[in-house]
Amino acid sequence: MAVERSATTAAGQFDHFWQQQGEWVEEPNQRRGGESGVQRLNDESGQMLYAKRQIGHIYRSLMHPFGRPTVLREYDAINSFEQLGVRVPHIVYCGVERDADHQWRALLVSKALDGFEDCDSWYANGARERYSEALHERMLQDLAQNLARMHRGHWQHGCLYGKHVFIKVIGEGAEARAEVALLDLEKCRRRISCQRAAANDLKQLRRHSSFNDAEWRKLLYFYQRAFGSAVKGLE
């Protein structure tokens, strides 16, 4: 099984990306009964790509009791997020196939988010001192709007840490603005209750991010305006 989005011929797409080698940005690790890692690659035009490579890495659910490659869940989430207007990496290629030992091999290749930096590093590198309060508010508002779109669509990120929130500043001075994108959607899942999705993700973000108390209060204010209601259990 393969999913589009490459100029390479369909028959050779999987092998084309699987045979490429690049720098490991996430060393292969053993999870979910298989192996998963991420490499940095460059395509023919010099565009930087990130390739998630997995072997025997599956998840199980009521719909897939015998297991399904995890990258397909992430692929489904990215496609849905794009339709909801949530900023995420652009997929270049996704494909899965069984190897000679009948284990799943899976690839998810996406474009690098040029100019973006993860939220924790952004703050650690002096963003509070470098940028104005107005720019910070624009960043928090953009993050809140992206999260609210995701939750109104009944999606829960499931791993919403500061290191999975990426920020890019565009422009300078009073005209500067910030864009926020979400990464690492491997644990995303649909929820019947958008309130529950929101509460779980936001509590997780509060525990695992670099926001101080004042920034968190502003984020919640912008979020509740975008979401359309308060979320129970948040402070």
Helix, strand, or coil here: 189? strand
Global pTM reads 0.91
Beta bridge partners of 34: 31
pLDDT tens digit string along 87-109?
999 999 999 998 888 889 999 99
What pLDDT, on the 0 to 100 scale, is given for residue 6?
42
CB of 98 closer than 8 Å to CB of 18: no
Superfamily of domain 117-227: Transferase(Phosphotransferase) domain 1 (1.10.510.10)
Among the residues of 20-118, which ranges form H helices?
70-84
The C-alpha atoms of residue 122 and residue 108 are separated, in whole angstroms, by 26
CB of 78 closer than 8 Å to CB of 91: yes
CB of 94 closer than 8 Å to CB of 38: no
Q: How confident is the model at residue 2 (pLDDT cuts 50, 70, 90)?
A: very low
Closest CA to 157 of 54, 80, 51, 219: 80
pLDDT tens digit string along 178-228?
999 999 999 999 999 999 999 999 999 999 999 999 999 999 999 999 999
CB of 18 closer than 8 Å to CB of 8: no
The C-alpha atoms of residue 106 and residue 180 are separated, in whole angstroms, by 28
State CA 168 to chain mean position distance.
Answer: 15
Q: What are the angstrom distances between the C-alpha of 168 and each of 32, 117, 122, 181?
A: 33, 7, 9, 8
State CA 16 to chain mean position distance.
Answer: 24
Whether the per-residue pLDDT at 3 is higher than 60: the answer is: no
Kind plus residue range of the DSSP H or E element containing 146: helix 133-152
Under CATH, which number does the domain 2-111 receive?
3.30.200
Every domain of the chain and the residues it spans: 2-111, 117-227
Question: Do 2-111 and 117-227 fold alike per CATH?
Answer: no
